[in-house]
């Protein structure tokens, strides 16, 4: 069990997206975030108190959470002194990076010396099965994106929250480091051996009541040359009944891939449904989630109108305008009204 509250370590994150783990915790579990630690050159800001290690410990922090999700998921050498200081001050450390805390001798020695815990949430703890492709009871909704970091976790959590507000049955199924910190459990999917990824998603979303919806956190993008494999495993292992298309307008290229442009929403819809129909011929796209955080209110509404015009599906920014329209569309689809 990872102890709360957290001190969120932002390191030298170059932008907000690079600190998306911290952002997700602040947005969905704000009561767990007591403060942030930023190094020189950090351009991310969660708008919570800046604290030193000593100040955070005095304020009651129990765990330093590495809130950075950098390319490759590595623990930078420049962070080491701060992480060792945290352990010496009595803080545990939790991380979702590919570079495991327990593979760093300096941190292992310091944790042992000061009696602290190192938590690697990206370490699979289950022997996941190979996917069998059998149809499961219950309903499933999967968020897929034109790119990485476009709001797939956010729309899944927002839709689950709206379902619960209406007194309906719904669960959020976390598949990445931030989602696991938010939900308290899940599958670190991109750390699962490739042959077992789809099986891990089947395990994560088992048989359930016919009127229960699992909102499966999306990862990667089918159009991202680096991370398409994990997306396809979610599509086939999840056997979704419904797809939410996710997009952030205005990006000049795929994140981390300057030679690749984002696909059009129509193209994403076509490709993901082709893949989804292999395991569930009844799967439908039901709505579009648009991240409009960089736009004015008027510009945001224009983005939504454009998305609706292009796809014929209801579109919203679930954080800015709420997830009601997407849940309405999901329930209409499940009641037999074909949207696409």
Q: Which residues neighbour 302 within 8 Å (Cβ) at sequence distance 6 or greater?
A: none
Please state, in angstroms and rounded to a whole number, the distance separating the CA atoms of residues 220 and 129: 22
Position 98 scores a pLDDT of 87
Dihedral over Cα of 115, 118, 119, 124: its sign: negative
Q: Please give the full DSSP string across 41-108, using - where no structure is assigned.
A: T-----SS-B--HHHHHHHT--EEEE----TT----GGGHHHHHHHHHHT-EEEE--SS-GGG-HHHH
Q: Where are the beta strands (DSSP E) in 264-304?
A: 284-290
Q: What is the pLDDT along the chain (340 residues), one digit of tens a residue?
A: 789 999 999 999 998 888 989 999 999 999 999 999 999 999 999 999 999 999 999 999 999 999 998 777 889 999 999 999 999 999 999 999 989 999 999 999 999 999 999 999 988 889 999 999 999 999 999 999 999 999 999 999 999 999 999 999 999 999 998 999 998 889 999 899 999 999 999 999 999 999 999 999 999 999 999 999 999 999 999 999 999 999 999 999 999 999 999 999 999 999 999 999 999 999 999 999 999 999 999 999 999 999 999 999 999 999 999 999 999 999 997 776 444 4
pTM for this structure? 0.87
Dihedral over Cα of 148, 151, 155, 158: its sign: positive
Position 70 scores a pLDDT of 75
Tokens 């439908």 belong to 284
């Amino acid at each position: 069990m990872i102890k709360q509250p957290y001190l969120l370590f932002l390191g030298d994150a170059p932008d907000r997206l690079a600190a998306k783990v911290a952002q997700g915790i602040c947005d969905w579990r704000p009561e767990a975030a007591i403060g942030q630690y930023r190094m020189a050159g950090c351009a991310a800001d969660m708008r919570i108190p800046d604290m030193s290690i000593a100040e955070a410990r005095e304020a009651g922090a129990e765990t330093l959470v590495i809130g950075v999700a950098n390319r490759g998921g590595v623990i930078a050498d420049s962070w080491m002194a701060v992480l060792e200081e945290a352990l010496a001050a009595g803080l545990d450390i939790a991380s979702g990076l590919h570079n495991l805390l327990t593979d760093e001798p300096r941190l292992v020695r310091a944790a042992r010396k000061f009696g602290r815990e190192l938590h690697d949430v990206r370490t699979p703890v289950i022997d996941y099965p190979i996917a069998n492709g059998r149809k499961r009871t219950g309903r499933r909704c999967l968020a897929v994106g034109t790119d990485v970091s476009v709001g797939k976790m956010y729309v899944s959590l927002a839709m689950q929250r709206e379902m619960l507000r209406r007194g309906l049955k719904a669960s959020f199924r976390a598949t990445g480091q931030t989602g696991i910190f938010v939900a308290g459990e899940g599958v670190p999917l991109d750390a699962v051996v490739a042959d077992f990824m789809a099986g891990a998603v089947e395990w994560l979303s088992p048989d359930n009541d016919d009127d229960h919806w699992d909102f499966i956190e999306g990862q990667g993008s089918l159009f991202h040359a680096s991370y398409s494999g994990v997306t396809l495993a979610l599509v086939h292992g999840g056997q979704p009944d419904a797809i939410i298309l996710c997009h952030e307008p205005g990006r000049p290229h795929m994140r981390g891939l300057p030679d690749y442009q984002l696909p059009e929403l129509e193209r994403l819809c076509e490709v993901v449904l082709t893949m989804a129909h292999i395991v569930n011929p009844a799967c439908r796209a039901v709505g579009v989630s648009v991240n409009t955080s960089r736009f004015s209110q008027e510009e945001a509404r224009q983005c939504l109108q454009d998305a609706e015009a292009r796809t014929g599906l209801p579109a919203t920014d679930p954080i800015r305008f709420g997830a009601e329209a997407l849940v309405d569309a999901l329930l209409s689809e499940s009641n037999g009204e074909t949207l696409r």
